[in-house]
Structure 1
Amino acid sequence: MPEFPNIILYAIPFFVISMLLELYVSIKEKKKTYETKDAFTSIAMGLGNVFLGFFTKAVVLLVFMVIYENFRIFTIPFAWWSFVLLLFADDFTYYWFHRISHENRLFWASHVVHHSSEHYNLSTALRQTWSGGFYTFIFWLWLPLIGFHPGMILLQMSVSLLYQFWIHTEAIDKMPKWFESVMNTPSHHRVHHGSNPLYLDRNHAGIFIIWDKLFGTFQPELEDEKVIYGLVSNIKTYNPLKVAFHEWLAMGKDVFSGKKSIRDRVKYIVKPPGWKHDGTGKLSDDLRKEWEETAGNKQSAVDIQKPVNATGLNGITQENHVGAGQ
């Protein structure tokens, strides 16, 4: 087996230089992209993730090796085509891990960390979980089972993480159309970090946006719907410990407190964020439906007040209509 380097550690100087460059551009253009406390919290979360990674990756590698050595179905060689195949297999896996992390509260408890900033810049990319590394790797167990060597898998997972660093920025508007149609980009990922009802739980891609288009979770960034970053209910703290574990505490409280059936207690773990046993909770689909109804009513009022012009569109272009891009 070839020796694969830990490319994330080698990339740290690149991360620092890129953030400084982005900060310089934002100051020059008089944009408040960075907030000092928020950026330092994101960096602290990133450093904590790297430190814990020394332990979690050892566990992951051990589990992958046990499966590979004892249960693998095939043996995939170290060849250029196997890395290409792994690129798509890993990215397909990442899509479903990422999507389920938004649809299942157990996985959301660790992933919510990455969405907790109300700012969007390269430091936000470093705001990583301290707990997810201990259990989210289960989504990748099928890769050593079919014959990919664990070293290859860990390398590709790092490549994916490295790719996703540069898309956490507002400094890049849109990439060329051909690139936007296939790859994950800053525009696509800004949507993913939006708390707007229209943008909730959309664009789960890692490297390729094709998975969202195939499985119905794609949403383009609209000019008339500015992204509002953060959570539906923001946590308003810069304390790394609270950022890392606030959702675990909230989930524990929902599971163990009050008078509930065992069935409902379990549902607080497996149901999507926002679910409540008494029916008062609202999921992202509920919030999106409410937004669409409100936006539709507002649009109808505008249509009634405006005379029909020669285009027959009441002065509203199709691109600006509330349904466009959905």
Structure 2
Amino acid sequence: MQFDAQWLLLALAPVFLACIGWEAWHLSRARTRGRYAESARYQWSDTLCNAALALMHQGADKLAWLVAVPVYAFVYDHYRLLAWQPGFGAWLALFVAQDLLYYVFHRASHRVRWLWAAHVVHHSSERLNLSTAFRQSLMYPVAGMWLFWIPLALLGFPPAQIVAIVLVNLAFQFFVHTQAVPKLGWLEYVFNTPSMHRVHHARNERYIDRNYAGVLSIWDRLFGSFVAEDAQDPPQYGIVKPLRSCNPLKATFHEWHAMAHDFGRMRGARARFAALFAPPDWCARYDGTNRTSVPENNTEGEFGSRKT
């Protein structure tokens, strides 16, 4: 990929903004006909919060690459297992491998509280439209998102290609954050779609912690996390304990604050470790007696965890 991939999302910004403009216009026209839920429509405070979070995230991301790329380069130079010849086969292998690792990262971000503390920002809005895709956390580098791409360097992909494919994956996901697109038939068996992602953002009990796909939907079907959107159970968006704020700083740090509070009140190393790395609601269900028990599944806990 012969371009500075770190500028990809910036280069696509006019496309994203044009799509947001179209969606806002379309939803406004459809409002009188009641075609879409209120949660689909744009609200100034929510949209501005999403924009602020996007700018904060982009700044942190640029700084994170300064650390991550040398790590990828070190692994690539000293420990790579394969040598790929340039071409479509190498690109396809990189695309599939990164998409699988994204699924692993995304699922872990709902199962490990340290990762959820960053990822919860993306889920905290009670609206879902294209601007929600911008709702990202500046704390992803601290949570360790970049660590999940190290296996790509081990597999023999150079750092520039790793950065590029990560950003291509994220760029694709912009288009699935909408309620204006219905189910897409057979495409649902191959690709992540708006219908699949509406399920992922929902807090309904049957939808929580489902459909982790980045680009390909095959991983959810393969690993048992797929649930289809049901018209009889329309998605309700947001986290189980609503944030009720459009302050980007509160959206960014509220779960880190709650996690630090729980870490401080726990007694014993095991319980404190669990406060950071168990499922997000572990502390809310901790009774002080079973100090080593980490439940298999999340439940609707005090701090907005999401269950499988």
TM-score by length of 1: 0.84
Question: 1:80 deviation in Å?
Answer: 1.7
Q: Secondary structure at the match of 1:197?
A: coil
- Percent identity between matched residues is 37
**Alignment of structure 1 residues 90-239 onto 2, 5 Å:** 90-134=98-142, 135-175=144-184, 177-239=185-247
Measured in 2, the distance between the counterparts of 1:181 and 1:3 equals 32
Measured in 1, the distance between the counterparts of 2:9 and 2:299 equals 38
Query: Which of 52, 55, 67 is 1:44 aligned to?
Result: 52
Q: Secondary structure at the match of 1:195?
A: coil
Structure 2 counterpart of 1:55: 63
- Tell me if the contact between 1:203 and 1:218 (Cα under 8 Å) persists in the aligned partners: yes
- Tell me if the contact between 1:105 and 1:268 (Cα under 8 Å) persists in the aligned partners: yes
Measured in 1, the distance between the counterparts of 2:86 and 2:188 equals 31
Q: Secondary structure at the match of 2:117?
A: helix
Measured in 2, the distance between the counterparts of 1:2 and 1:67 equals 21
Question: Deviations 1:277-322 (Å, cap 9, x if unpaired)?
Answer: 21799986545xxxxxxxxxxxxxxxxxxxxxxxxxxxxxxxxxxx
Structure 2 counterpart of 1:298: none
Query: Which of 270, 274, 286 is 2:281 aligned to?
Result: 274
Question: Deviations 1:171-206 (Å, cap 9, x if unpaired)?
Answer: 00111x221111100000000000011000000000
Measured in 2, the distance between the counterparts of 1:214 and 1:244 equals 32
Question: 1:52 deviation in Å?
Answer: 1.7
Measured in 1, the distance between the counterparts of 2:288 and 2:225 equals 25
Larger radius of gyration: 1
Going from structure 1 to structure 2, the CA distance change for 1:216 and 1:279 (only over 3 Å counts) comes to farther
Question: 1:3 deviation in Å?
Answer: 3.6
Question: Deviations 1:82-130 (Å, cap 9, x if unpaired)?
Answer: 1111111000000000000000001001111100100000010000110
Question: 1:43 deviation in Å?
Answer: 0.9
1:86 aligns with 2:100: no
Computed over aligned residues only, the root mean square deviation of the Cα atoms, in angstroms, reads 2.1
Q: Secondary structure at the match of 1:96?
A: helix
1:264 aligns with 2:271: yes
Going from structure 1 to structure 2, the CA distance change for 1:267 and 1:143 (only over 3 Å counts) comes to same
Structure 2 counterpart of 1:26: 27
Counterpart of 1:106, as a letter, is: W
Going from structure 1 to structure 2, the CA distance change for 1:279 and 1:122 (only over 3 Å counts) comes to farther
Q: Which moved more, 1:222-231 or 1:136-145?
A: 136-145
Measured in 1, the distance between the counterparts of 2:43 and 2:297 equals 28
- Tell me if the contact between 1:184 and 1:205 (Cα under 8 Å) persists in the aligned partners: yes
| Matched positions, count | 287
- Tell me if the contact between 2:192 and 2:215 (Cα under 8 Å) persists in the aligned partners: yes
Gaps of 5+ in 2: 301-307
Runs of 4+ in 1 over 2 A off after TM superposition: 1-6, 279-287
Measured in 2, the distance between the counterparts of 1:46 and 1:92 equals 24
Measured in 2, the distance between the counterparts of 1:3 and 1:40 equals 31
- Tell me if the contact between 1:274 and 1:282 (Cα under 8 Å) persists in the aligned partners: no
